[in-house]
Amino acid sequence: MFNIGAGEFLVLGLLAILVFGPEQLPKAAQQVGRVLRQLRRMADSAKSDIQEGLGPEFKDFDVQDLNPKRFVQKHFWEAEDDEEENRRPVSQLNGRRPPFDDEAT
């Protein structure tokens, strides 16, 4: 999620012990957990409010579709079945370049 390796996680843990101290660290971690749960509930509530407000014609709408990376994957890499070669991710192209349309740029 945050792309944190073991070394960075260890440094963050040591920094937290230095800042909060061993006595206050469990309380601080508990507060951070509460805040994250509350933020997740608020985001889920906002998502459901948006979907409810859009009405039944947008019942298949997913908020993640607004993410530009997901939009590109959905609209450019999910081609028709006869264009199976174009649907594969770049990592599976075996060293070949992905399809490129020089008239589009």
Q: Which tens digits make up the pLDDT trace of 3-26?
A: 778 899 899 889 988 998 889 989
Q: Are residues 42 and 87 in the same domain?
A: no
DSSP symbols for 26-92: HHHHHHHHHHHHHHHHHHHHHHHHHHHHH-GGGTT--GGGGSHHHHHHHHHSS--GGGHHHHS-GGG
Q: Which structural domain range is residue 68 located in?
A: 62-105
Give the pLDDT confidence score for residue 31 in this predicted structure: 94
Q: Which of 55, 78, 95 is the last residue of a domain?
A: 55
Q: Are residues 49 and 67 in the same domain?
A: no
pLDDT tens digits, residue range 45-60? 988 888 888 888 877 7
Residue 41 has pLDDT above 90, yes or no: yes
Average pLDDT over residues 61-69: 76
Average pLDDT over residues 66-74: 77
Q: Are residues 71 and 92 in the same domain?
A: yes
